[in-house]
Amino acid sequence: MVRHLDIHPKDPEPRKIAQIVDVLRQGGLVAYPTDSGYALGATPGNKEAIERITQIRRLDKKHHFTLVCHDFAQLGSVVIVDNSDFRLIKSLTPGPYTFILTATKEVPRMMVHPKKLTVGVRIPEHPVALALVRELGEPILSSTLILPEAEEPMSEGWVVAEEIGHALDAIVDSDVTSTEPTTVLDLSEGDVRVARVGAGDVSRFE
């Protein structure tokens, strides 16, 4: 049966955060709030969770999974960042942006794009998401919770429970700060390519 925990959106309770992280460490799949709607989360390298996310969202093999990080130091351990990328990412984080970059050897191969060897990374501006990744001590393997045929991420815990609760191990019920998905910036080929326009402003790249 899925665990359903109410967590304060601005001052998340450490005891409840620890309970969700225990689910993650035991191989579970959780739905949690971010600054761009709900996301599905698991530990990196969790093959079963990747398969479950793929089934829930009906993803193809070209989908970029995202590693949600607590800070820039953690982000820099999973992707290769040059000086220009560093300045750009620092100027936009934390915030509703996902960056596509070449993965380091620390990233499980199953998460990496099969041809480009890239992965998505982001640092969200949401207290609950940041508390979860801080407590876990490593990035959270994530995918925005946009169901097939939908255009926006799910934004309420009770709706997540009704729609896909049977497919999850835990749901964090807390406020999201936006219902738009992240803006995706592909930095893997030396320039900035806007791969998806979302909550993050892209005017400087036009």
Cα atoms found within 13 Å of the Cα of residue 175, Cβ hemisphere only: 9
Beta-strand ranges (E) seen in 24-122 are 30-34, 37-42, 66-68, 97-102, 118-122
Residue 46 in tokens: 């969790």
Contacts of 17 (CB under 8 A, 6+ apart): 7, 128, 131, 132, 135
Question: pLDDT per residue over 114-156, tens digit each?
Answer: 888 999 999 999 999 999 999 999 999 999 999 998 888 999 9
- Classified as helix, coil or strand, 127 is helix
When the candidates are 3.90.870.10, 3.20.20.150, 3.30.70.260, 3.40.50.720, the CATH number that belongs to 3-199 is 3.90.870.10
- Classified as helix, coil or strand, 196 is strand
Give 168 or 149, the one with higher predicted confidence: 168
pLDDT exceeds cutoff 80 at 181: yes
Pick the closest to residue 141 from 31, 45, 20 (CA basis). Answer: 45
Give 20 or 177, the one with higher predicted confidence: 20
Give 10 or 110, the one with higher predicted confidence: 10
Rounded to 5 degrees, what are φ and ψ at 161? Answer: -60, -45
Question: Which pLDDT does position 45 carry in this prediction?
Answer: 87
CB atoms within 10 A of CB 131: 22
Sequence ranges of the domains in the chain: 3-199
The length of the chain in residues reads 206
- Whether the bond into 94 is cis, omega within 30 of 0: yes
Strand 97-102 with 3-6, pairing: unpaired
Residue 182 in tokens: 């992240």
Question: pLDDT per residue over 78-123, tens digit each?
Answer: 999 998 899 999 999 999 999 999 999 989 888 888 888 999 999 9
Share of the chain above pLDDT 70, in %: 100
Residues 24 and 133 sit within 8 Å (Cβ to Cβ): no
